[in-house]
Amino acid sequence: MGATTPAEVGLPPSRGARYYFEPQREALPRERLAALQAKRLRATVRNAYANVPFHRARLDAAFVEPEEIRHVDDVRHLPFTFKTDLRDNYPFGLFARPRNGLARLHASSGTTGKPTVVGYTDNDLRTWADLMARSLACAGARPGDLVHNAYGYGLFTGGLGAHYGAERLGATVVPMSGGSTERQIALITDFGARVLCATPSYALAIADVAEHLGIDLRQSALEIGLFGAEPWSEAMRQEIELRLGLTAVDIYGLSEIMGPGVACECEERAGLHGWEDHFLFEVIDPESNAPVPDGQAGELVITTLTKEALPMLRYRTRDITRVTRAPCGCGRTHLRILRITGRSDDMLIIRGVNVYPSQVEAVLVGTPHIAPHYQLVVERRGSLDHMTVEVEARRGVGPDNFDGIARDVAHHIKSMIGLTAEVVVKKPDEIPRSQGKAVRVRDLRPK
* Sites of contact with Zn ion (CB under 5 A): 266, 268, 328, 330, 332
Residue 35 class from Cβ within 10 Å (0-12 exposed, 13-18 middle, 19+ buried)? Answer: middle
Distances (CA, A) of 426 to 174, 390, 430: 35, 7, 6
Closest CA to 198 of 236, 169, 144, 142: 236
Q: What is the DSSP letter of 188?
A: H
Give Cβ neighbours of residue 13 (< 8 Å, ≥ 6 apart): 6, 7
Q: Where are the beta strands (DSSP E) in 164-313?
A: 172-175, 195-198, 224-227, 247-254, 259-265, 272-274, 279-284, 298-304
Quick check: 438 and 205 in contact, CB under 8 A? no
| Helices 357-365 + 402-417 axis angle, to 10 | 130
Angle at the Cα of 131 (from 275 to 316), degrees rounded to 5?
A: 50
Residue 336 CB, nearest distance to Zn ion (Å)?
Answer: 7
Q: What is the DSSP letter of 278?
A: T
